[in-house]
Amino acid sequence: MSPGPSETNTAQELVHGFSSAQRIRALKYKQLEKGFQAVLHTHNDTDYKAVMAEVTVAFQVCSETINAAEAGLRSLDQHDLADMLRVIQTNEHEKLRLTLILQALRQSFAHGQFSWTCRPSADSIETNSGSGTPTHACQCCTAAEPTEAEYSAAKAEALQGLQTVVDNINDVLEEIKYAEADLDEQ
């Protein structure tokens, strides 16, 4: 049986490992956003799928590293630090969920997938034979969709949730930074 994290790592090393994984995670979020911006501009998601695959693997590695650090800290009776890492992991999970929700909303809006975002062309206007009034017949309006108010509310809710989660992460990261400095002094 191989030794567990607490047998081979000190609390200081475990917290440094966490900090490194968290920095990588932050860089991967930037890569994810850059890839998403390209999709919004090009309407081609082929490259973004590759970015998503790479970022998913990196996030998984970061998560495993942080989970191992948490377990190692618990085995060293550093429960306060381990609890902080758990709070980070929980909030990072929610951050990713909200980020992807926002991206889906933004992409749908940018690609004109809602009838209220479409600008009908002359070819997409048909005349209702019963009343003689024009009707909109573009392909974007075939499925159930949110109203503009529902879209705005969903986007605002996701943005507010994301800001709350980021604030929570930053608060705990600040606490971890001080704990890391204390460990470095020991």
Angstrom distance (rounded) from CA 124 to CA 108? 20
Angstrom distance (rounded) from CA 114 to CA 93? 29
Question: What pLDDT sits at residue 125?
Answer: 47
What confidence tens digit (pLDDT) does each residue in 45-61 have? 888 999 999 999 999 99
Question: What pLDDT sits at residue 34?
Answer: 96
Angstrom distance (rounded) from CA 54 to CA 62? 12
Say what the pTM is: 0.79
Contact 9, 82 (CB under 8 A): no
Question: What pLDDT sits at residue 109?
Answer: 78
Parts of the chain with a pLDDT under 50? 1-6, 124-125, 127-128, 133-137
CA count, 13 A, side-chain hemisphere, 144: 1
**How remote is the C-alpha of 17 from its chain's centroid?**
22
Report the 3 state secondary structure along 3-63.
CCHHHHCCHHHHHHHHHHHHHHHHHHHHHHHHHHHHHHHHCCCHHHHHHHHHHHHHHHHHH
Question: What pLDDT sits at residue 132?
Answer: 52
Question: What pLDDT sits at residue 133?
Answer: 46
For residue 46, CA distances in Å to 18, 30, 35, 97, 159 come to 32, 18, 10, 21, 26
